[in-house]
A and B are shown apart, each in its own frame.
Chain A
């Protein structure tokens, strides 16, 4: 994954990560916006650059019924939030809690440069953080689910 000078493959990575499907999510982010009276909300912050994302969740029967997010970030961070939101909408909370950065990278289907890896994390961390907060207020048995 390390970027090496004069290496064509790695060289292209700077530009190659801005693939059409990523740019499409960046230009038309799915589920973006805010939510009136969400069941849970949290902010994810990228420590490396200070960009952030606010996530709003509507939860019913241990499933994520709806998700909205409001974010200031680069194309990769917005695309990752958009792709994640599409994927997890309607999924059981347990499934979402088990997701990792690798799952997001698979969903994004793009090679990221080392410097942009961290941009894919705040959306997931904020979502999982919000679910944790929600669960603290609603202690019910969780249902099963497997990550991608």
Chain B
């Protein structure tokens, strides 16, 4: 993998702050975009733009075809049929839509199971659903290595929601194993793929899950491009979440009928440009190769852990399978202060609770600093990170 060549596709990486080149190590929050993706969106707006599914004229047909082609391309990446590939704004919207649409099938005698490592967007919608329905909410705990601990699913488990990858620790969960375990109790299985999809391609049908959600912006795609996938037979039975244009076939004064999948779940004008950009982003990632990217992240993580061990830092989690995420702290220093020192050195990391307060509370700290890598990061950026952290340790440690 030629990282220097890849970096040329991301002009933003040459930006300088305070005389230093930006080291963008906040990929778990969002990734940068290659020119190829921006060009694809630009081309759509400049050459093929009209509203989709609405016109009797060529341009609208072209726009519709471009949007539907993007759906096919994106769906193919994770083994989904077009009918099952619903475009949303992001993971959060996908999961909330799901929680609303499934709410009629959750009752007082049911339990929903989530994990301590879930992002707020895969925890709060289920927590609130449980509160509304007086259902039980259970948590799979996170162990000392930062992995999911053994868990016996209650026999009344109606739904299990978990992340493919922890956005704080980088832990990669065994999707098939957990899906199978929850299915034994007859649960619906929801996978939050936000932190996993950018690094590990999932085949939804092999995975054993019923629903899968991810965000395009974390995998080189535009902001505003997200996906909700669900098994066709389930989606067909579920009520729509949003009502309005594009999701309807017949409307009378007293009743309405829904369009076929996937349109039933795509009310209103979609972010077609976002979907087209996401399709291009997936082209780009596949051409580089997901397994090569992950290997590259592992090399960067190893170097980080070696350097951090020399410095003497608190590093959180040592999962057996991980993506390019390292969460850490300088003992006695506040994560936000570390983040500011790094920021002054043009190193972009995230300091905070990473929308995962349950997990960060379990770690026993108010916040952590998180460095997260992707295909365009380099060993020299890791060295700069370590140097800057060393400096912060002298000041605050």
Of A8, A14, A49, the residue contacting B340 (CB under 8 A) is A14
B interface residues, tally (CB under 8 Å)? 19
Task: Report whether A49 and B17 are in contact in the complex, using a CB–CB cutoff of 8 Å.
Answer: no
Chain B: CB-nearest residue to A11: B18
Task: Report whether B337 and A5 are in contact in the complex, using a CB–CB cutoff of 8 Å.
Answer: no
Give the interface size bracket for A toward B. 20 to 34
Task: Report whether A75 and B337 are in contact in the complex, using a CB–CB cutoff of 8 Å.
Answer: yes
Chain A: CB-nearest residue to B365: A72
Does chain B have a CB within 8 A of A39? Answer: no
Chain B: CB-nearest residue to A46: B336
Within 8 A of B (CB), among A17-32: 17-18, 23, 26
Chain B: CB-nearest residue to A10: B18
Closest A-B pairs by Cβ, 5 of them: A14-B344, A11-B18, A74-B334, A74-B336, A15-B344
| Interchain Cβ contacts under 8 Å between A and B, 6 examples | A13-B344, A14-B18, A51-B334, A73-B334, A75-B396, A113-B340
| Cα–Cα distance between A49 and B354 once the two chains are bound (Å) | 10
Binding site for B on A (CB under 8 A): 5-6, 8, 11-15, 17-18, 23, 26, 49-51, 72-76, 113, 115-116, 119
Q: Which residues on A sit within 8 Å (CB–CB) of B344?
A: 11-15
Binding site for A on B (CB under 8 A): 15-19, 334, 336-337, 340-341, 343-344, 352-353, 357, 366-367, 395-396
| Cα–Cα distance between A93 and B18 once the two chains are bound (Å) | 44
Task: Report whether B17 and A5 are in contact in the complex, using a CB–CB cutoff of 8 Å.
Answer: yes
Q: Which residues on A sit within 8 Å (CB–CB) of B341?
A: 14-15, 18
Q: Which residues on A sit within 8 Å (CB–CB) of B396?
A: 26, 75
Task: Report whether A49 and B336 are in contact in the complex, using a CB–CB cutoff of 8 Å.
Answer: yes
Q: Which residues on B sit within 8 Å (CB–CB) of A74?
A: 334, 336-337, 340
Q: Which residues on A sit within 8 Å (CB–CB) of B343?
A: 14
Contacts A49-B352, A73-B334 supplied; 15 other A-B pairs, CB < 8 Å: A6-B16, A6-B18, A6-B19, A14-B341, A15-B341, A17-B340, A18-B337, A23-B395, A49-B367, A50-B353, A73-B366, A74-B336, A76-B337, A113-B340, A115-B340
Q: Which residues on A sit within 8 Å (CB–CB) of B340?
A: 14, 17-18, 74, 113, 115-116
Q: A74-B337, A116-B340 are in contact. Are A18 and B19 (CB under 8 A)?
A: no
Chain B: CB-nearest residue to A72: B366
CB distance from B248 to the nearest CB of A (A): 41
Q: A11-B344, A12-B344, A51-B366 are in contact. Are A75 and B334 (CB under 8 A)?
A: yes
